[in-house]
A and B are shown apart, each in its own frame.
Chain A
Amino acid sequence: MPQDRDIAIDVQGAVKRYGTFTALKTISLSIRDNEFFTLLGPSGCGKTTLLRMIAGFEDVTEGAIYLYGDEIDTLPPHKRPVNTVFQNYALFPHMTVLDNVGFGLEMLGKSKAEARARAGEVLEMVQLSQFAARKPSQLSGGQQQRVALARALAPRPKVLLLDEPLSALDLKLRKAMQVELKHLQRETGITFIFVTHDQEEALTMSDRIAVMSAGELQQLGEAREIYEHPRNVFVADFIGDTNLMEVTVDAVSNGRAQCHLGGGHRLTCDAVDGIGPGAKVHMSLRPERLFLSADPVADESLKGRVREMIYIGTDIATIVDLDGGPQFTVRSSNSSRGNARIFEPGTEVAVNMEQGAARLLID
């Protein structure tokens, strides 16, 4: 049994089955103390199930969950010192904002006055003091979201669970709340476990991310690691935009793998354990790590013809058909310092890549 005080939540071989359907297949992961940890994945990947198992709303079919070394998976939700911010907030409609926020403290046996005093403090922290006497229905969506946050923080939980808390907000408010949540996490020093299907949100906010799919953990790591070193096809495809294509490995030497694409285009990638000569595997190339030029700048420049140019605002995306082969998207920053040379459709160009941009993936 783990006794490590640096581990807030330790999930050991947790399995969740509903009848014959397996929602979660043997997940093991450790969430560190004082960490902003994100469970990321498409809907139905099991991330919310895992969060609900930590909160106590779902039984653990097999395995165990520890909170700072204590096994909690058999405790009912009201005996677990963790609090949840629900997706649709689940504020109590018949109580004032102040009583909503004070509810958890009252249930912990604090007097009504004590609960209200602490609730007032937390409301101040989320800048909602002037709405204390209102009912939740009298607040905007963003304000309700902050009340839900205050309510979950008021009892000073050991771990705060957030179930897609920003999904109901509009884009601008969501961006503002992302920053605010990150600040709150640093200020309070509470471990946050955040569930989202939005990869950009996950990259922006998290210390570490667990990418999940089909009830399995695909990759766990820091944002940069997951974005730049995706372990498999699912992670590379799900996180950010990428050029995902099949390559054949010709030779491996000195930690480098010589490969070729359809159409005979040759390129070199970092070698990956378990991928040897003759293997047909996928390769990921981030569009922003490619650049275009009129003439090839290196041996491994890929020749092609511009099919389409898309103006995005911050960036310009150019879609290039390689000679006799696949299609590439190249993305360049739209600034005078950037490499945004504009190539009209039909122009012959060379696609060049930065060192280490091409990554081989296991399936």
Chain B
Amino acid sequence: MAGGGATGGTVQSETYREARTLLLLPAWVTLGLLTLAPLMIMLVYSFLTKEFRGGVIWEFSLDAYDQFFFDRGLFGDEPPKIEWTYIGIFWRSIWQAGAATILSLLIGFPTAYFIATRPEGQRAFWVFLVTIPYWVNLLIRTVSMKFLLRDEGPLNDGLIGLGIISEPLGIVNTNLAVQLGLFYSYLPFMVLPIYAAVERYNFALSEAASDLYAPRWAVLRRIVIPSVKPGIIAGCILVFVPSLGSFLAPDLLGGARTFMIGSLIEEQFKGNAGNWPFGAAASMILLTMVLFLLMVFARQSRKEAA
């Protein structure tokens, strides 16, 4: 009996097993209905034939995956070459999400450390402050970001006013704008797990390290960071994964050159121009990739823990 508590007689354990099945039912139904079923639908759709006005024809086909990886010319009759367009979009997405994650970590770690080192009564207040912007809709926040960053916006005005630059930076429609948008969208997901880890950290360890001649940066690098690493990894995953599939920030803040996976998938299901099997296939490829990255992460941290 996996994971169950030890029970006395056979009769008792049978009742126990029945009760357990019954009690677990809501969890299984929720998981099955809301996670497994949609996933299966996506998987099946990715192997069907496309209908031109959206939707699918119930006929098995590998076209969607073929289209993703191979280029067979305009009429589909040339010998197949590798199709770099979509792989390129994936690569750019990984890069953008990675940059946003690093940015979140650089800002989020000191923020989390700051909050966790406040007196106990004040910490809830600081956490509350971090979450306030998230009461505003993501769309509105992203549009506001555009207004802040645009050439006539307060950022450029301010920098020009201070005499730091003479021309607007032209941030909007660049990779940087998208990274900033993603960073701002998901920053709390970095701050909160790191905050939780730092709060549990035993600060006597920092004292012990400085007592043993470690200057401040060595205390941070050798003692604090390794101790709160699980929180850092959790934060990175929580920022990286949604950034990878995000389409609001790239759509609103980026231009044609900053096209990301999220937008690619979104287009396939929007209006009449879409290609449902292709969208489903792209989603499955994204999912596979994310799972693969998480597994590498998990294995890495397990190896270090041993």
Query: Quick one: which of B268-306 are within 8 Å of A by CB?
Result: none
Q: Would you call B212 and A151 a contact (CB within 8 A)?
A: yes
Q: Would you call B210 and A77 a contact (CB within 8 A)?
A: yes
Which residues of B have CB within 8 Å of A92? 205, 208-209, 223
The residue from B213, B222, B223, B226 contacting A78, defined by CB atoms under 8 A apart: B213
Which residues of B have CB within 8 Å of A104? 212-213
Binds B, one of A33-41, A81-89, A185-193, A297-305: A81-89
Per-residue contact bits, chain B 201-222, to A (CB 8 Å; 1 contact, 0 not): 0101101111111110010001
Q: Would you call B227 and A55 a contact (CB within 8 A)?
A: no
The residue from A76, A88, A107 contacting B212, defined by CB atoms under 8 A apart: A107
Q: Would you call B204 and A78 a contact (CB within 8 A)?
A: no
Please tell me the number of chain A residues within 8 Å of chain B, measured between CB atoms. 24
- Given the interface pairs A92-B223, A107-B218, the reply to whether A84 lies near B211 with Cβ below 8 Å is yes
Which residues of B have CB within 8 Å of A46? none
Which residues of A have CB within 8 Å of B204? 86, 88, 90
Q: Would you call B213 and A93 a contact (CB within 8 A)?
A: no
Nearest residue (CB) in A for B219 is A78
The residue from A55, A93, A94, A108 contacting B211, defined by CB atoms under 8 A apart: A55
- Given the interface pairs A78-B215, A107-B218, the reply to whether A90 lies near B210 with Cβ below 8 Å is no
Tell me the bound Cα distance from A107 to B209 in angstroms: 9
Which residues of A have CB within 8 Å of B208? 84, 86, 90-92
Per-residue contact bits, chain B 174-215, to A (CB 8 Å; 1 contact, 0 not): 000000000000000000000000000010110111111111
Q: Would you call B223 and A108 a contact (CB within 8 A)?
A: no
- Given the interface pairs A90-B202, A92-B223, A94-B227, the reply to whether A103 lies near B214 with Cβ below 8 Å is yes
Per-residue contact bits, chain A 61-89, to B (CB 8 Å; 1 contact, 0 not): 00000000000000011110011101010
Tell me the bound Cα distance from A152 to B211 in angstroms: 9
Which residues of B have CB within 8 Å of A230? none
Which residues of B have CB within 8 Å of A84? 207-208, 211
Shortest CB distance A129–B (Å): 21
Which residues of B have CB within 8 Å of A94? 226-227
Per DSSP, are chain B's interface residues mostly helix, strand or loop, or mixed? Answer: helix
Which residues of B have CB within 8 Å of A103? 209, 212, 214, 222
Which residues of B have CB within 8 Å of A151? 212
Shortest CB distance A118–B (Å): 13
Q: How large is the interface on B (under 10, 10 to 19, 20 to 34, 35 or more residues)?
A: 10 to 19
Which residues of B have CB within 8 Å of A108? 213
Q: Would you call A86 and B212 a contact (CB within 8 A)?
A: no
Judge whether A155 is part of the interface by a CB distance below 8 angstroms: yes
Per-residue contact bits, chain A 258-302, to B (CB 8 Å; 1 contact, 0 not): 000000000000000000000000000000000000000000000
Tell me the bound Cα distance from A86 to B223 in angstroms: 16
Per-residue contact bits, chain A 109-131, to B (CB 8 Å; 1 contact, 0 not): 00000000000000000000000
The residue from B210, B212, B227 contacting A93, defined by CB atoms under 8 A apart: B227
Which residues of B have CB within 8 Å of A82? 211
Shortest CB distance B305–A (Å): 9
Which residues of B have CB within 8 Å of A55? 211
Shortest CB distance B301–A (Å): 12
Nearest residue (CB) in A for B204 is A90
Shortest CB distance B303–A (Å): 13
Shortest CB distance B198–A (Å): 15
Tell me the bound Cα distance from A103 to B206 in angstroms: 13
Shortest CB distance A158–B (Å): 13
Which residues of A have CB within 8 Å of B215? 78, 107
Tell me the bound Cα distance from A86 to B205 in angstroms: 10
Tell me the bound Cα distance from A104 to B223 in angstroms: 13
Which residues of B have CB within 8 Å of A91? 208
Query: Quick one: which of A122-162 are within 8 Å of B by CB?
Result: 151-152, 155
Nearest residue (CB) in B for A55 is B211
Tell me the bound Cα distance from A79 to B212 in angstroms: 9
Shortest CB distance A86–B (Å): 6
Q: Would you call B202 and A107 a contact (CB within 8 A)?
A: no
Which residues of B have CB within 8 Å of A78? 210-215
Which residues of B have CB within 8 Å of A155? 212-213
Which residues of B have CB within 8 Å of A93? 205, 227
Nearest residue (CB) in B for A83 is B211
Shortest CB distance A204–B (Å): 26
Shortest CB distance A339–B (Å): 49
Q: Would you call B218 and A77 a contact (CB within 8 A)?
A: no
Q: A residues within 8 Å of B by Cβ?
A: 55-57, 76-79, 82-84, 86, 88, 90-94, 103-104, 107-108, 151-152, 155
Given contacts A84-B211, A94-B226, A107-B212, 16 further A-B contacts (CB under 8 A): A56-B210, A56-B211, A76-B210, A78-B212, A78-B213, A83-B211, A84-B208, A88-B204, A92-B205, A92-B209, A103-B214, A104-B212, A107-B214, A108-B213, A151-B212, A155-B212
28 pairs, A vs B, C-beta closer than 8 Å: A57-B207, A57-B211, A76-B210, A77-B211, A78-B210, A78-B212, A78-B214, A78-B215, A79-B213, A82-B211, A83-B212, A84-B207, A86-B207, A88-B204, A90-B205, A90-B207, A92-B205, A92-B209, A92-B223, A93-B227, A94-B227, A107-B214, A107-B215, A107-B218, A151-B212, A152-B211, A152-B212, A155-B212
